[in-house]
Amino acid sequence: MRFAIRCLWRRPVFGLAAILTVALGVGANTALFGVIHTVLIQPLPFREPGKLVQIWETHPALPQLQVAVPDFQDWLNEAQSFEQVAAYTLSADRPRHHGGQQ
């Protein structure tokens, strides 16, 4: 250990590069683990995640379409098969959340 410290002390640029490389590696692994844990390992924050469903509109040319707000509101008002209904959008320009309970 003393030898390694002496070598790094004699060549500070190499020592700084080595320390930065290790720090970046540890930081990247920590961030990646945090994402993997949140997305894949941690259970969903719902009482019964196995009962969640996703519904969408279809068109002959497009297999999945985002639901228009008026259509969602119709689903919200008329759906009797669901306890709760919520909507989300992938659009970054107008973040909205419409939801309600049946």
Model pLDDT for residues 15-73, shown as the tens digit of each residue: 889 889 999 999 999 999 999 998 888 887 888 888 888 888 888 888 888 888 898 89
Radius of gyration (C-alpha) of the chain in whole angstroms: 25
Q: DSSP class of residue 84?
A: E
This prediction's pTM: 0.44
What tokens does 53 get? 């469903």
Please count the other Cβ atoms lying within 10 Å of the Cβ belonging to residue 87: 19
Output phi, psi for 86, to 5 deg: -140, 160
What tokens does 31 get? 């961030």
